[in-house]
Amino acid sequence: MSERLRIVHAHGEHITVTEPVTGVELLSYVYRAEAGWEAPKPYIHPLRTLAGDVVTDYRPNDHRWHKGLSLTASHLSGANLWGGNSYIHGEGYLAIPERVGSMRHVAFDEVSADADRVVIAERLTWHPYDGELWAEETRRVEVHDVDLDSRSWALTWSSAITNRRTEPLLFGSPTTAGREMAGYTGLFWRGPRAFRDGRIIGPDGEGPELMGTQGEWLALSGEHDGADGYATVLFAHAPENAGGHPAHWFVRNEPFAAIAPSWAFFEELALPPGETLTRRYRVVVADGAWERADITKYLAERPW
């Protein structure tokens, strides 16, 4: 690319990133505070392919707290920073407002763009319902590898979360709380309604049975409503993620499309006071229905 990727910052609201050749707004990073019941937190929506097709959903009627691509903590030392109802073993999902917390924007340390990359570097704080400071996060969202030939682009999401309590922060999920195969937490993508029944692909298999498995990457491709054609969303772990708590994929294509590289699927992750949990992921957004060979080739040509 020779032209600079374009950013527009509506202060207090959101930051948009536009690809200059196609004129497509690739993403909007939204950091304004929203409804408390939905566990306010920054998120990305819409997320678009280079053809301009949206590959995220926002406040769907089944889960109003699902917002595009966001970092979540569904079970955190008894708090719910995911939003909505809280899972209680033996009772199901219950409306418990005093469990719902938030992630608050503090400041941006960098918002920059050049011909090859956009950087959004942010500081956030994590809070339970009563507003106590539980954690501080430094986050870096980068847009890069925009390739008009392969009709794809990549986003790297890096987060470092430091425990500011005097006791361990316990990251969990509905599965660690007793619900089978519902280990969602961490970076979470909610796909558009049209991607229901989309094709799930992993390095060694495919289909919904990849729920709860481990692997370096996972992808879901779906067919658009309103526009002809398909798109593929690919998640990949950074190499250093493998050295920490084992991650398992949360993935669905029924009753909706979703992917989360969960850091607490089957077992709680305990973060001691003052220590930092660091994770980095790549999310690739591509036009077309990529096959396993396409994904393998792409990742081999673009090492971390």
Q: How far is 258 from 67, CA to CA, in rounded Å?
A: 11
What pLDDT is stored for residue 115 in this prediction? 84
Q: How far is 241 from 139, CA to CA, in rounded Å?
A: 16
State the average pLDDT for the chain: 96
Q: How far is 184 from 186, CA to CA, in rounded Å?
A: 7
What pLDDT is stored for residue 242 in this prediction? 74
Residue 237 CA: distances (Å) to CA of 75, 94, 149, 181, 298: 22, 33, 24, 21, 14
Structural contact between residues 265 and 250, judged by C-beta atoms closer than 8 angstroms: yes
What pLDDT is stored for residue 12 in this prediction? 97
pLDDT digits (tens, 9 = 90+) for 12-62: 999 999 999 999 999 999 999 999 999 999 999 999 999 999 999 999 999
Q: How far is 280 from 159, CA to CA, in rounded Å?
A: 6
What pLDDT is stored for residue 2 in this prediction? 59
Q: Quick one: average pLDDT of 144-154?
A: 97
The strand pair at 199-201 and 14-18 is best described as unpaired
Q: By percentage, how much of the chain surpasses pLDDT 90?
A: 96
Length of the chain (residues): 304
Query: At residue 150, does pLDDT exceed 60?
Result: yes
Q: Which position has the token pair 């920490």?
A: 244
Q: How far is 35 from 29, CA to CA, in rounded Å?
A: 17
pLDDT digits (tens, 9 = 90+) for 104-147: 999 999 999 998 999 999 999 999 999 999 999 999 999 999 99
pLDDT digits (tens, 9 = 90+) for 212-234: 999 999 999 999 999 999 999 99
Residue type at position 89:
H
The most distant pair of C-alpha atoms in the chain lies apart, rounded to whole Å, by 58
